[in-house]
Amino acid sequence: MSASHPSTHDLRRGDSLLSTRAKEAGRALLAPLVRLAVRLRLTANTVTVIGFVVVVLAAVLIGLGALLAGAAVLTAGLLLDAVDGSLARATGGTTTFGGFLDSTLDRAAEGALYAGVIAYQLTGVAEPTVIVLLAVVALTASFMVSYTRARAEGIGMSASVGLAPRLERLILIVVGIALAGLGYEIGLIGALGIIATLAVATTIQRIWHVHQQSVTSVVLPVASESTRESNERG
């Protein structure tokens, strides 16, 4: 991962909804799971794949209308997603392929999750139009959050700022699904609306962050057409 230019250190990195202290506390709580994975000789990539499968299973349950079960399974998937990075560091550090696999399956899992939410709405709700549109906007904006960071790092800059990176968005969707499972459909509508709003705001934050870096750093060489095309496909 490319480091940001020194002159951009005044730009905030810790402005997400969850504070750095809360995230550190979460990692401390996950330490027993990391130690268990080490004892079982699981690799970080194995945990990444297992986590992806668990999230897809949660998406299927949600699509079938088993919202509480889906929320519970999704929570397990999020725990595995959080464990893989810590496990990689505990067993010798991250690898290029490991980072690529993790990012790729994260996007696939997020797509599957929102597909499950949309399937539930189309089959289990009398008037699904509004919430389906919210889900589509939330998913599209979420992908843009990830894409802006990937493109920034591809040109040697950083874009890990923003109100709602992936963890915050997933926590919101879990809460919304659980509330809908308890009969409070408005909870899911609200969660999707908040995610859509925050993801759009985060995308704008990242664009501005990269702009600020670009005007205070040395201009990088322009990528070749083939390299640019490859990056766009990613």
Between residues 191 and 160, the one the model is more confident about = 191
Whole-angstrom Cα distance, residue 102 to residue 183?
34
Q: What is the pLDDT of residue 42?
A: 82
Contacts of 95 (CB under 8 A, 6+ apart): 88
Whole-angstrom Cα distance, residue 93 to residue 98?
10
Contacts of 45 (CB under 8 A, 6+ apart): 84, 97, 98, 101
* CA 181 from centroid of its chain's CA atoms: 23
- Mean local confidence (pLDDT), 98-124: 92
With bands split at pLDDT 50, 70 and 90, how would you rate the model's confidence at 93? Answer: low
| H/E stretch holding 56 | helix 44-63
Query: What kind of architecture, by CATH, is found in domain 17-216?
Result: Up-down Bundle (1.20)
| Interval 210-233: pLDDT, tens | 999 888 865 444 444 444 333 434
Best CA proximity match to 121, nearest among 104, 139, 109: 139
- Mean local confidence (pLDDT), 14-20: 60
Q: What is the pLDDT of residue 17?
A: 62
pTM: 0.79
Between residues 24 and 173, the one the model is more confident about = 173
Range in 46-55, 69-78, 94-103 with the lowest mean pLDDT: 94-103
- Contact criterion met (CB below 8 Å) for 43 and 51: no
Q: What is the pLDDT of residue 45?
A: 87
Q: Interior CA angle at 30 toward 4 and 203, to 5°?
A: 35
Best CA proximity match to 83, nearest among 133, 18, 42, 33: 33
For the chain, give the mean pLDDT: 81
Domain-wise residue ranges, the chain: 17-216
In the block, residue with structure tokens 């843009």: 144
Active centre residues (catalytic): 106
The b/e string for 151-171 (b: 16+ C-beta within 10 A; e otherwise) is bbbbbebbbebbbbbbbbbbb
